[in-house]
Structure 1
Amino acid sequence: MALKKSDLYSSLWKGADELRGGMDASQYKDYVLTLLFVKYVTDKAKSDKNSLIDVPAGGSFDDLITFKGDKEIGDKVNKAIAKLAEANDLQKVIDLADFNDEEKLGKGKEMQDRLTNLISIFQDLDFRGSRAEGDDLLGDAYEYLMRHFATESGKSKGQFYTPAEVSRIMAQLIGIKPSTPYSATVYDPTCGSGSLLLKVADAAPHGLTIYGQEKDNATWALAKMNMILHGNEIADIRKGDTIASPQFTTNDRLDTFDFLVANPPFSVKSWANGLENEYGRFDGYGRPPEKNGDFAFLLHMLKSLKSTGKGAVILPHGVLFRGNAEATIRKVIIKRGYIKGIIGLPANLFYGTGIPACIIIIDKENAQARTGLFMIDASKGFEKDGPKNRLRPRDMHKITDAFTKQVEIPGYSRMVPLSEIENAANDFNLNIPRYIDSSEPEDIQDLHAHIHGGIPNRDIDALDAYWTAFPSLRFELLRPLREGYSELAVEKDDIQATITNSAEYQSFNSATGDLVSEWWSGHREQLAGISGTTRPGDLISGLSENLLDSFHPRPLVDEYAVYEQLMSYWNQTMHDDVALVMNEGWDGAAKPRKTIEDKDRKLSELPDLVIGSGRNASKYKMDLVPPALIVARYFADEKAKLDQLSAEVESAAQVIEELVEENSGEEGLFADAMDDGKITKALARVRLRDAKREDPRSDEVTALSKLIALYDVETAAKKSVKDAGTTLDQATLAQYGKLSIADIQQLVIEDKWRATVEQRIYAEVAGLTLRLITRITELGDRYDKTLSALSTEVEVQSAKVASSLAAMGVE
């Protein structure tokens, strides 16, 4: 079976679970990532004779497998990894984790079992084809681990990782083109685990020549492993403090690069420690403040770019507006035209801090001719992901589209002229809210409407996007009342029906369906052609970009919301399906397989279909074609009959429940037959026998006889359901063997993928409709009663109260 991304993630996190408890996440990540590395290079050496990593005898993952259950497993694992490190000059890179550490892994049998289980988890993974498909499954798994380790490590130790979503945005912003050659250089002076560098290099068709520097020894080791795991074995990653001891220099001058990306530590107070040679970084700008290193890093980056170099840097918002020395530096940078744009990001996005940050886009090419900065306030586009916030695919695409196309969107993005930034009111302050008002418009209560009635036209006009899509609907829902005010033309209970039954709404829905059908049909042949040479990234890119283009001219619907529906389904399901088809072909991927059951290794899969019962039951997993799809297409009548039988069981059970309820209690007819408030068929029979002896014509005998008869009906109905279910399950399993490739493609491409994506897009449109219904209803309720009407109602109620009090003799 092909290795699925979701299964890989699950296995890797099981590895972390084996270690959790004995050490902090920032420590156990080293063990999991080291084994991931050893397993990967071992598999790669088997499939690639030209692999740059030499796997020596005694230093492979296969050797680690032989240590399982060994009393000296920890020491033997250390020695095997040491051999691999020595053969590839990776000492102090892959051998930092001590697999014989009793304080972290336990003593004796505890260590033996823990490491045996850990090795077993990795043993099931197969990375031999992980990059052949052009989709970096292993790299994504590494990112998955980095993200989870960073989350669990907390604020103090989570700075080694830049969220992958932010990295992808930065790669798009710095101007890498299809023509960018591999010889172009990219540099990250604070590279952490290297993920940001790799995302940028991946944006170039043939990759880039990678350079990076990292201060922390353990994180530098992570970066070295990360480069190898991503097929960038020759990346130049050096160790040291970037400010005090930059490693990329020539004759006391900083080396320069074509591209630069960085996520330096925020506001470092000790940035100048050990600084002797400034390498001209501060010349012409001024020295950054001693207790804040943000501009020290930014000036280092400016100095490290070629005259046409481009870069993207993540920094706290303070660099945009803080005064004194930083204001002086900022003014010089702006005047030189080096800043091309600024993007404000959501808060709580990064692992080392919860404060919001921004991306500063640097472009030295034609800097002197720059007349403005392009600003984006993307602070509100995110989703919650555990303790952190996370950018969604729609947020990422909207940012890159707005910036690369220089699209001005009210409340989101605009080109800010330098003259506006330089004027006396702003004085080179780049705080984004000065230039973009992204606040939500206030929902103002209209006193005149409360007094005299009517809905303010101002509130109705605010729904202009809906009236553009449904021009006549406004006049079906509302009619003029007086100057500046309208009233409902329908009853409030009829608002929803008026909207959904309108010809314009029906036409809009129909056109949306036609658009989706046309888009999908245009890619049907491409999807049917999925094979071992398919590049999943290119496949989903073509699908999603075409979907965006299709919905862009549509009124009302947000094309990025539609895009999100496709991308979320791709990440949840479609990517794994495509990987299965690529590795096993359509027919192979669709074949049922027995579930994996291994009690010793704690492996158990939830089956999709079970034939038989008890120990003789056969449990099947259908990875590509779920049984429900087979049933819906080939056995709809049988399923309808099964549903009817199930309904009869429920009906019989309900009648029994009502009869028991009716005759329960101390005085009830079933009182003598009940045990602990319940009455079973067996109890009813025993009591019926005794009751007949006492009085064969009693009401109790009649009721008990009726109950037993109902139990018999229920039992027969349950048997019918079981028999029909068994027959349907057997027919469903047999049907898999009859499927042609065309049948499989119909089931997967149309019944599974298309149906799900269509359903999600329709749900998006339905959500828009619900918002219109809710808003019109809200406005109708808000101004439904005038002040005069309310006053009259108060007077009427007051009179009723006074009358009641008088009747009681109260004055």
Structure 2
Amino acid sequence: MALKKTELYSSLWASCDELRGGMDASQYKDYVLTFLFMKYVSDKYQDDPYGMIEIPAGASFDNMVALKGDKEIGEKINKIIGALAEVNDLKGVIDVADFNDEDRLGKGKEMVDRLSKLIGIFEGLDLSSNRADGDDLLGDAYEYLMRHFATESGKSKGQFYTPAEVSRILAKVIGINANTQRDATVYDPTCGSGSLLLKASDEAPRGLSIYGQEMDNATSALARMNMILHNNETAKIWKGNTIADPQWKDDNGKLKTFDFAVANPPFSNKNWTSGINPDEDPFERFVWGVPPEKNGDYTFLLHILKSLKSTGKGAVILPHGVLFRGNAESRIRENLIKQGYIKGIIGLPANLFYGTGIPACIIVIDKEQAQHRTGIFMIDASKGFIKDGNKNRLREQDIHKIVDVFTKQLEVDRFSRMVTLAEIAANEYNLNIPRYIDASEPEDLHDLTAHLQGGIPERDIDALSTYWKVFPTMRSTLFASVRPGYSKALVEAGKIKSTLIEFPEFQTFAQSVNATFTTWFYQASLKEIAIGDQPKALIHEIAESLLTAYANTELLNQYDVYQILMDYWQETMQDDVYLLSQEGWNVGKTLRVLVAEKGEKQKETPDLVIDKTKFKADLIPPVLMVARFFAKEQKAVDDLQAAFDNATQALESYLEENSGEEGLLNEALNDKDKVTKTTVTARLKVATDKDEKAALKQAKALFDAEADSKKAVKEAQEALDRLVFERYAKLTEDEIKTLVVEDKWQATLSAQVQAEVERIIQQLANRVKELEERYAEPLSVITQSVATLSDKVAVHLKAMGLEV
């Protein structure tokens, strides 16, 4: 059976567990990634004489497997990796980690056991047949690991990784698309582990020619490894300091120029002038100004400008300070704006990156249209994210919205606008986004007159006009005018939500949303998935069609619906589609036997246990089988379970009533004995008192009834499980399609879309209730209430002999 993504991720993270303790994440990532690389290239190229990677005799992962339990395992692993590195020009790339390091891996048996377990984890992964066309399983796994390594490494050591979500935005906004030719070039002067370059290349249908440079030796090795794992063996990655010693040059000694450039350089580099005299730069990068000696942010932007062709386009991640800082940076910024090089600026949320928590922005460069530029398109995307551990993370909907708005140049209130160069000049070329876009929520102002005289301000009711547009008679059901400019509530606060949910216009709206979903789902033709299909292409196609389907639906945000699909894809659906594209629909008949390593606990929870054998249903959960084929049998189990619950409750109630200090059971049993079936049965054999015997008999009868009920439930559940188990093998392809597409995917997504619809009406209900309660009691009522209560207190005090 094909390897699922989530299963691969789980195995890879388990390999990290074997290494924790002796080193931190910034160190053990080298060990895990080296093993992943060795396993992948061995599986892919071992029997391919024409492969891009040569596997010399004695230097494959199989040779590592043979070392399990070997006393010299660490030293021999180093030799195997060294041999592979030697023949493939990968020295300094895959041989960075020392597998014979006793300080990190332990001494003697500890090292042998640890490395043997590590080999065992990777041995169980078959990576030879798990690359569905267009679905880069290993590349995604690498991204998964890099995100986790960066998270665990912390600020000081996590800068090697640019979050994939941000990388995707950069790749999309620079204009790489389906029409981009494969010979087009993309460049990253500070490429880290290469994720930005790969995301840019992925946007072109056949990839791009990749060029990168990275100053850190270990990180440049990660990038080389990353390229191979992503099937980009021909990518060119250099080591070295891009500013002091740029490696990519033409024959004439000038900087090589590229079609596209992306970068996430180190923020506010204080040593950028090391090894260089900016005033005598041979590459003429600082003609628009020299950045401050202690702050190199603009250094990389200027380097990229010089490294782009006259039609080149680029995107750079920089701290917000570059938009508004003064002095030398102000002069550079003004010159670049006047030259028309800056196409757009995208403000990002804070705390996205692993090297810093400060907010950053994306500066989009377009040299081709520079002469005709009359404005800069700005986006404030700082509010769109979710919390993910101790970091913030962009959601799929955030990414899509940013890209849609930028590429279509859409002006969205409190989110984006085209700012003219004249307006920017009037602001002395300060590009700070809040100067041009007010992203703050409108202030919720209290109405003093309403607090004094009562009534709900119609200004607040009018602000809900988007709802009244869709539900035209709802306003008059909720409010009635009491005087000019003010209304009263017609529905009491506790009944607002139920009133709105049952409102005919809302019901019509909900049905319309559901009908749109049903039509979209039918048109997605998910029952037609076949072996060889591309999962990533499929989700892109159906997700885009979902956005289109809900593009004009009032109240319902199309990006919220899109997020529902993308979340479900990540959690469940991608694994299902991946299995189907590899194995076909009949994989639904297959149950995987779960076998734990000797001495290890079973890591996966079984779906069925038949004759002590544990099974996992990877595509069709048993609950779906039961619902479709065995509803009658399930009801019988439920009835038996209810009877068991009743028997348990009856027993507990009887014991509670008769086990107190004066209870019959307490008197019959020794104070030290617990009231159990065993103690009750034993005491019953020797009891002589009539009342005592009666109490014991009743207790025993209840214990027996509970035991019989429990046994009946167990036997019925086992019988049902066996029926389900046997039914899997008899499933037809049409039945499998119905179970997966309709009962699993459609039912889940439909329920979540309906929950989103209910969330909309809940928001309206909350606001209406808030307004009603805010102005429920005018000042006169509150004053009278205070006076009444004061009089009551005075009376009570006087009765107590106290005078106020």
Range of TM-score over shorter length: over 0.9
Quote the Cα distance in structure 2 between the aligned partners of 1:606 and 1:586: 24
Quote the Cα distance in structure 2 between the aligned partners of 1:514 and 1:725: 38
| Matched residue type, 2:393 | R
Q: 1:506 to 1:35 in 2, by over 3 A?
A: same
**Kept in 1: contact 2:132–2:582 (CA 8 A):** no
Shift of 1:601: 6.3
Shift of 1:494: 2.1
What is the correspondence of 1:526-605 to structure 2 with a 5 Å cutoff?
527-600=526-599, 604-605=603-604
Q: 1:624 to 1:564 in 2, by over 3 A?
A: same
Shift of 1:647: 1.1
**1:805 corresponds to:** 797
**Kept in 2: contact 1:186–1:209 (CA 8 A):** yes
- Identify which of 640, 645, 648 aligns with 2:643: 648
Q: 1:132 to 1:718 in 2, by over 3 A?
A: closer
What is the correspondence of 1:339-378 to structure 2 with a 5 Å cutoff?
339-378=342-381
Shift of 1:542: 0.9
**Kept in 1: contact 2:311–2:368 (CA 8 A):** yes
What TM-score, normalized by structure 1, do the two folds share?
A: 0.97
Task: State whether structure 2 residue 635 is matched by structure 1 residue 636.
Answer: no
**Kept in 2: contact 1:77–1:99 (CA 8 A):** yes
- Identify which of 763, 768, 771 aligns with 1:776: 768
**2:665 corresponds to:** 670
**Kept in 2: contact 1:406–1:415 (CA 8 A):** yes
SS in 1 for 2:156: coil
Instruction: Give per-residue Cα distances to partners, 1:583-611, cap 9 Å, x unaligned.
Output: 22211343112112222566643210112
Task: State whether structure 2 residue 683 is matched by structure 1 residue 680.
Answer: no
**Kept in 2: contact 1:47–1:128 (CA 8 A):** no
Instruction: Give per-residue Cα distances to partners, 1:691-715, cap 9 Å, x unaligned.
Output: 4x13x2x3x4443333322222222
Quote the Cα distance in structure 2 between the aligned partners of 1:63 and 1:603: 28
Quote the Cα distance in structure 2 between the aligned partners of 1:604 and 1:327: 57
- Identify which of 318, 322, 346 aligns with 1:319: 322
**2:209 corresponds to:** 209
Quote the Cα distance in structure 1 between the aligned partners of 2:783 and 2:395: 50
Quote the Cα distance in structure 2 between the aligned partners of 1:105 and 1:720: 52
| Matched residue type, 1:538 | A
**1:714 corresponds to:** 706
**1:94 corresponds to:** 94
**1:406 corresponds to:** 409
Task: State whether structure 2 residue 736 is matched by structure 1 residue 744.
Answer: yes
What is the correspondence of 1:428-467 to structure 2 with a 5 Å cutoff?
428-467=429-468
Quote the Cα distance in structure 2 between the aligned partners of 1:497 and 1:65: 64
Shift of 1:395: 0.6
What is the correspondence of 1:55-204 to structure 2 with a 5 Å cutoff?
55-204=55-204
SS in 1 for 2:157: coil
Task: State whether structure 2 residue 416 is matched by structure 1 residue 417.
Answer: no
Shift of 1:779: 1.2
Shift of 1:740: 0.2
| Matched residue type, 1:684 | V
**1:230 corresponds to:** 230
**2:622 corresponds to:** 627
What TM-score, normalized by structure 2, do the two folds share?
A: 0.97
Instruction: Give per-residue Cα distances to partners, 1:228-275, cap 9 Å, x unaligned.
Output: 111111111111101000111132311110000000000000000001
Kindly, what percent of the aligned residue pairs are identical? 58
| Matched residue type, 1:406 | Q
- Identify which of 714, 717, 725 aligns with 2:717: 725
Task: State whether structure 2 residue 745 is matched by structure 1 residue 753.
Answer: yes
Task: State whether structure 2 residue 381 is matched by structure 1 residue 381.
Answer: no
Q: 1:590 to 1:442 in 2, by over 3 A?
A: farther
**Kept in 2: contact 1:186–1:258 (CA 8 A):** yes
**Kept in 2: contact 1:254–1:279 (CA 8 A):** no
**1:495 corresponds to:** 496
Shift of 1:546: 0.6
**2:394 corresponds to:** 391
Quote the Cα distance in structure 1 between the aligned partners of 2:110 and 2:495: 69
Shift of 1:624: 0.4
**Kept in 2: contact 1:120–1:601 (CA 8 A):** no
SS in 1 for 2:679: helix
SS in 1 for 2:18: helix
Quote the Cα distance in structure 2 between the aligned partners of 1:415 and 1:736: 58
Quote the Cα distance in structure 2 between the aligned partners of 1:132 and 1:556: 39
| Matched residue type, 2:655 | V
| Matched residue type, 2:754 | Y
SS in 1 for 2:487: strand
SS in 2 for 1:598: coil
Query: How big is the alpha-carbon RMSD for the aligned residues of Structure 1 and Structure 2?
Result: 1.5
Unaligned runs of 5+ in 1: none
| Matched residue type, 2:395 | R
| Matched residue type, 1:805 | L
| Matched residue type, 1:139 | G
SS in 1 for 2:53: coil
Quote the Cα distance in structure 2 between the aligned partners of 1:130 and 1:166: 27
Instruction: Give per-residue Cα distances to partners, 1:526-556, cap 9 Å, x unaligned.
Output: x222222101111001111111111110000
Quote the Cα distance in structure 1 between the aligned partners of 2:260 and 2:481: 60
Quote the Cα distance in structure 1 between the aligned partners of 2:430 and 2:514: 48
Quote the Cα distance in structure 2 between the aligned partners of 1:659 and 1:123: 57
**Kept in 2: contact 1:46–1:128 (CA 8 A):** no
**Kept in 2: contact 1:477–1:498 (CA 8 A):** no
SS in 2 for 1:430: coil
Quote the Cα distance in structure 2 between the aligned partners of 1:764 and 1:6: 27
**Kept in 1: contact 2:594–2:614 (CA 8 A):** yes
**2:473 corresponds to:** 472
Quote the Cα distance in structure 1 between the aligned partners of 2:600 and 2:273: 52
Q: 1:601 to 1:230 in 2, by over 3 A?
A: farther
Instruction: Give per-residue Cα distances to partners, 1:764-802, cap 9 Å, x unaligned.
Output: 111112111111111111111111111111111111111
